[in-house]
Every structure is written in structure tokens, then in C-alpha cells.
């Protein structure tokens, strides 16, 4: 049996009931076969076995009290996956679906994503099965304080630097940082996505969405095209989706649909982003209110229908496995030509195959949404240098990083004989740097 297959089989046997982790590992490892063939020393050093095993997994209890005095207990996670090229770095997700499998899939992806940014950051991920929906500010604060009361002993500015993800935005990062500072008595860059008055970076809020558009713009540009006049569908209406929409619109695209976890809105005149921002960022409401406020819009219950809307460019920006084979086939039939993944693993393995076989330009998450973590690393640089860069400076660096990522994954795919296959390109380019560092460190 080939090395990659052996490692994958062993991983599934030793980590049963972790379907998302199996899915991410399968996607990554199968594309690394040509690399490990070229480097037999990796097998001798057990490199892949070490690569798929987290360096450390922290699992903890998070007790908290709601506004009625009722006690709740949630699970807390931090998976410190790989620190070969820098301190662990990766977001915290608060969502009822969170479990070890999801945190491990996200952590594994994060290693390669962080490597692709070209910045010195390792891979980690964390979160909780806590559901912030419908909770008061006081309840959110109490939960965040309890979460950090355990997490603080495992993280540090040079050890592990968490950030936001689904359900963790500026408000949560503020409460988490406040509690860390209180316990450790140090004001350091231990979390990114911080507010601008206490060490945050300009552009961090916009970074993942803007970055997604910058890399897609580069893919369009090398093919003699641009966003101008293109019809775009974006799933989600959270942080990534909103700023992807903002930048795409500023480049002349027409975004016609967005969703939240209950349903989607279609607006043939183009989404009015100020209304979405008001509903989602200010009022924390439901997207169906958009159709009540904007006459040209219609609302449909359920999410899957969004992929039946004809578009040139599809940008899934909500959650994992939101595009399955059937949706991918409909998108292709309706003429989609570019798919850029803003969310992590939003396309199933079967959906990716459909896109690739149909000649769709498919930009996988670990490359396409790396702008967020890249800007987090820029926030770390500003924190440790005690300096503050302007919006234009950070935005320019972000754009350069995304353009470089595009060309790196394009070249890696070509070098290994898979031109245009950016899943191969991203995995290979990200992996080689991590593998080289791991080999240099010996068996650790
Ligand atoms: P937010 O919490 O800001 O927004 C998430 C959006 O997705 C919301 O519209 C939410 O709807 C929707 N959503 C969540 N779960 C589901 C589901 N199961 N089915 C349908 N819709 C769902 O998160 P972000 O925008 O920060 O993150 C979105 C994706 O991007 C995630 O995959 C995340 O890992 C990835 N990502 C985020 C980065 C960042 O910097 N924020 C960086 C890199 C990747 P509702 O409001 O109804 O819950």
C-alpha cells in the first residue's frame, strides 16, 4: 500500500466518528502523493503521521449562568495542531455544531493556509458548542469570561494566538481579551481581531472578504477578465460574506443573492449592502427582514436554493459542506465559471470534482480565505512592534499577499503537472514549507 493511503487508513481507524476531519485529511493527503513520492525521506521520518496528529488537544468544561440564573455547561476546545513555522494561529468558533471533528478539520486546513500566507504562523483552531444566538450581551460576556478562565493558561503572544470565526466577532474578542488581561496582567497581542483602541489592526474586519475578492480578481485578470458586470452569488451574511460583497460591488460586480442559516434573499437589482449591514451587524436580525425592506427582493426559506440562481461567480462564505454534488451540477449547468471559497471546506469532495471536471476555476478555501489570518499576522507584527499602520498600508499588504498566493499555487500546480488544479497547488505549496521546517526540527 502506498504511503499516503496507509496514513489515511490509519487516521480513519484511530479517529473514528470524525467525518469532517476524515474529509479534510482525504482532500489534503491525496493531493500530496506526488510530493511524498519525490521525497522518500518523509516516509522514513514518519512525517505525514506527525503532520495529521495534533501536537496538543485541550478539552475543557465551560460553566456559565444565564440571565435567569440557570447554570449551563458547554464544551471548550483548543487544538494546537502544528507549530513548525510559527506559534499556533487560528480562530475560535462558537456554534452548537462544534465538536472535536470540526475543530480538527479546521486546524488541519489552517496549517497549510497559514503557510500559504508566507508569514510565520503555525496552525490551530478552537471553540465551543455554545450557541450565541438570542443571548444577551451579559450572557455572552459571562460565557467568554468562563471560556478564557481556562484557555488563558494554554495561549500566549508567542505560543498560540486565537482569533474569531463563526459566532466570534469583535464583541466576543473584546470580552475574551478583557478576561485574559485581567488574569495574566499583561497587555499583549494574544488574540487578533481586537478593537482599534486596544491593539487591533485596520482592515482586519474586512480582510477575509476583501482577500477572497483580491485572489478571485487575480484569477480573472490572468484570463483577461474582471469583476465588472459579473453576476455573483454569495452565501452567508456574516463577516466574510459582507466584506466580500462590499469589495465585489466596488469592482463593478452585481451581487444578487445572500443567505443566513434560515433562508436566502434574491435581489435582481443587486443586494443593497447597507441594508444587510444594518440587519446583521447592527440589529443582529434575520435576513428575511431584507425582503420586507427592499421591494425588488424575494425571500425563500432554506439555504440550498441559493445555488439554483444563475451566476458567473459563486462565493460560498457561510460554513462547511454547503455545496454538494447536486448544487455544484446546477451551478455548472447555469454557467458558473469561477468558485472562490470564503468559508472553510464549503464544497464537498464530490462538488469539487464536478467543478474541476467542468473547467470551472476553483479557488480552494485555504488559499482563497487566507486574507483573514494574513491580516491577523499583520496585527501581531504591529502589536510586537508597538506601531499602527494606516488602512491603505494594510490593505496594500493584504492585496500583495493574496496575489502572491494565487501565483504560488498556480506555479506549484504547474510544477507537479496539474496546471489549473488549485486544490493540488494550494496543498502542495502550503505543505512543502511546513514539511521542510518539520524535517529540520528532527523527530518532535
Ligand atoms: P459569521 O458568524 O460572521 O457568519 C456566518 C454566516 O454563515 C452567517 O450568515 C450564518 O447564518 C451562516 N451560517 C453559519 N452556519 C450555517 C449553517 N450551518 N447553515 C447555513 N448558514 C450558516 O462567520 P464568518 O463570516 O466569520 O465565517 C464564515 C466562514 O468563513 C466560516 O467557514 C469560517 O470558518 C470562515 N472563515 C472566516 C474567517 C474570518 O476572518 N472571519 C477567516 C477564514 C475563514 P446565521 O447568522 O443565521 O447563523
- pLDDT for 415-438, tens place per residue? 999 999 999 999 999 999 999 999
Catalytic residue among 89, 125, 247, 254: 125
Asked if residue 88 and residue 172 are part of one domain, the reply reads yes
Cell of 406: 494565487
Asked if residue 87 and residue 118 are part of one domain, the reply reads yes
Residue whose CA lies nearest to ligand 1 atom number 17: 261
Environment class of residue 75 by beta-carbon count within 10 Å: exposed (0-12), middle (13-18) or buried (19+)?
A: middle
Query: What is the Å distance from ligand 1's center to 235 Cα?
Result: 9
Taking 3-state DSSP, the helix, strand and coil percentages for the chain, each rounded to the nearest 5, stand at 50, 15, 30
Residue 444 is assigned to a structural domain of this protein:
no
Domain boundary among 138, 154, 187: 187
Residue 410 is assigned to a structural domain of this protein:
no
Asked if residue 299 and residue 150 are part of one domain, the reply reads no
**Rounded Cα–Cα distance for residues 90 and 365 (Å):** 14
CA-163 nearest atom, ligand 1:
40
Asked if residue 72 and residue 25 are part of one domain, the reply reads no
Residues in the chain predicted with pLDDT less than 50, given as ranges, are: none
Confidence at residue 357, expressed as pLDDT on a 0 to 100 scale:
97
Asked if residue 304 and residue 230 are part of one domain, the reply reads yes
Of 214, 197, 205, 119, give the one whose Cα is nearest residue 170.
Answer: 205
Confidence at residue 8, expressed as pLDDT on a 0 to 100 scale:
98
Contact (Cβ atoms closer than 8 angstroms) between residue 346 and residue 365: yes
Asked if residue 169 and residue 123 are part of one domain, the reply reads yes
Residue 374 is assigned to a structural domain of this protein:
no
Substitution site in 193, 240, 245, 306 for ligand 1 pocket (most atoms within 8 Å of beta carbon): 240
Please tell me if the CB atom of residue 166 comes closer than 6 angstroms to any atom of ligand 1.
yes
**Residue 6 is among the residues annotated as catalytic for this protein:** no
**Rounded Cα–Cα distance for residues 84 and 410 (Å):** 24
Name the strand (E) or helix (H) holding 431.
helix 422-440
Confidence at residue 415, expressed as pLDDT on a 0 to 100 scale:
97
CA-303 nearest atom, ligand 1:
20
Residue 440 is assigned to a structural domain of this protein:
no
Please tell me if the CB atom of residue 240 comes closer than 6 angstroms to any atom of ligand 1.
yes
Confidence at residue 242, expressed as pLDDT on a 0 to 100 scale:
98
Query: What is the Å distance from ligand 1's center to 20 Cα?
Result: 16
Asked if residue 341 and residue 253 are part of one domain, the reply reads yes
Asked if residue 216 and residue 352 are part of one domain, the reply reads yes
| Domain span holding position 12 | 1-53
Asked if residue 158 and residue 131 are part of one domain, the reply reads yes
Environment class of residue 192 by beta-carbon count within 10 Å: exposed (0-12), middle (13-18) or buried (19+)?
A: buried
Query: What is the Å distance from ligand 1's center to 128 Cα?
Result: 15
Confidence at residue 335, expressed as pLDDT on a 0 to 100 scale:
98
Split into its structural domains, the chain has a count of 3
- Which are the contacts of 178, defined by CB distance < 8 A and separation ≥ 6? 145
Contact (Cβ atoms closer than 8 angstroms) between residue 180 and residue 191: yes
**Rounded Cα–Cα distance for residues 218 and 402 (Å):** 8
Q: What is the CATH number of the domain that holds 123?
A: 3.40.50.10860
Confidence at residue 292, expressed as pLDDT on a 0 to 100 scale:
97
Asked if residue 112 and residue 38 are part of one domain, the reply reads no
pLDDT in tens, 16-38: 999 999 999 999 999 999 999 99
Confidence at residue 11, expressed as pLDDT on a 0 to 100 scale:
98
Q: What is the CATH number of the domain that holds 315?
A: 3.40.50.720
Asked if residue 59 and residue 42 are part of one domain, the reply reads no
- Please give the model's pTM, rounded to 2 decimal places: 0.96
Residue 193 is assigned to a structural domain of this protein:
no
Amino acid at each position: 500500500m502506498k504511503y499516503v493511503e496507509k496514513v489515511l487508513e490509519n487516521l480513519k481507524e484511530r479517529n473514528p466518528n470524525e467525518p469532517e476531519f476524515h474529509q479534510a485529511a482525504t482532500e489534503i493527503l491525496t493531493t500530496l502523493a506526488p510530493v511524498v513520492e519525490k521525497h522518500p525521506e518523509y516516509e522514513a521520518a514518519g512525517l505525514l503521521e506527525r503532520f495529521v496528529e495534533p501536537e496538543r488537544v485541550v478539552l475543557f468544561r465551560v460553566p456559565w449562568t444565564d440571565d435567569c440564573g440557570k447554570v449551563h455547561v458547554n464544551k471548550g476546545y483548543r487544538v494546537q495542531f502544528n507549530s513548525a513555522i510559527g506559534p499556533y494561529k487560528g480562530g475560535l468558533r462558537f456554534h452548537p455544531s462544534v465538536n472535536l471533528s470540526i475543530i480538527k478539520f479546521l486546524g488541519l486546513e489552517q496549517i497549510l493556509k497559514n503557510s500559504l500566507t508566507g508569514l510565520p504562523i503555525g496552525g490551530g483552531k478552537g471553540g465551543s458548542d455554545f450557541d450565541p444566538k438570542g443571548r444577551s450581551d451579559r450572557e455572552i460576556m459571562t460565557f467568554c469570561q468562563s471560556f478564557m478562565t481556562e484557555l488563558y493558561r494554554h495561549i500566549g503572544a508567542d505560543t498560540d494566538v486565537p482569533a474569531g470565526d463563526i459566532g466570534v466577532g469583535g464583541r466576543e474578542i473584546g470580552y475574551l481579551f478583557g478576561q485574559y488581561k485581567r488574569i495574566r496582567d499583561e497587555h499583549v497581542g494574544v488574540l487578533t481581531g481586537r478593537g482599534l483602541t486596544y491593539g487591533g489592526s485596520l482592515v482586519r474586519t474586512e480582510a477575509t472578504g476583501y482577500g477572497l475578492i483580491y485572489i478571485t480578481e487575480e484569477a480573472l485578470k490572468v484570463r483577461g477578465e474582471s469583476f465588472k458586470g459579473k453576476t455573483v452569488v454569495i452565501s452567508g451574511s456574516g463577516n466574510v460574506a459582507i466584506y466580500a460583497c462590499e469589495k465585489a460591488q466596488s469592482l463593478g460586480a452585481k451581487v444578487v443573492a445572500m443567505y443566513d442559516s434560515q433562508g436566502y434573499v434574491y435581489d435582481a437589482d443587486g443586494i443593497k449592502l447597507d441594508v444587510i449591514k444594518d440587519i446583521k451587524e447592527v440589529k443582529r436580525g434575520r435576513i428575511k427582514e431584507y425582503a420586507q425592506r427592499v421591494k425588488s427582493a424575494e425571500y425563500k426559506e432554506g439555504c440550498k436554493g441559493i445555488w439554483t440562481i444563475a451566476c458567473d461567480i459563486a462565493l460560498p462564505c457561510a460554513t462547511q459542506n454547503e455545496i454538494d454534488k447536486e448544487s455544484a451540477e446546477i451551478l455548472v449547468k447555469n454557467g458558473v465559471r469561477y468558485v472562490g471559497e470564503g468559508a472553510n471546506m464549503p464544497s464537498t469532495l464530490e462538488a469539487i470534482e464536478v467543478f474541476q471536471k467542468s473547467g470551472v476555476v476553483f479557488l480552494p478555501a485555504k488559499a482563497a480565505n487566507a486574507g483573514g489570518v494574513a491580516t491577523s499576522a499583520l496585527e501581531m507584527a504591529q502589536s510586537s512592534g508597538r506601531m499602527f499602520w494606516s488602512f491603505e498600508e494594510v490593505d496594500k499588504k493584504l492585496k500583495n499577499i493574496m496575489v502572491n498566493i494565487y501565483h504560488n499555487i498556480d506555479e506549484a500546480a504547474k510544477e507537479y503537472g496539474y496546471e489549473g488544479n488549485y486544490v493540488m497547488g494550494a496543498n502542495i505549496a502550503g505543505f512543502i514549507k511546513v514539511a521542510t521546517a518539520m524535517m529540520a526540527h528532527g523527530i518532535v
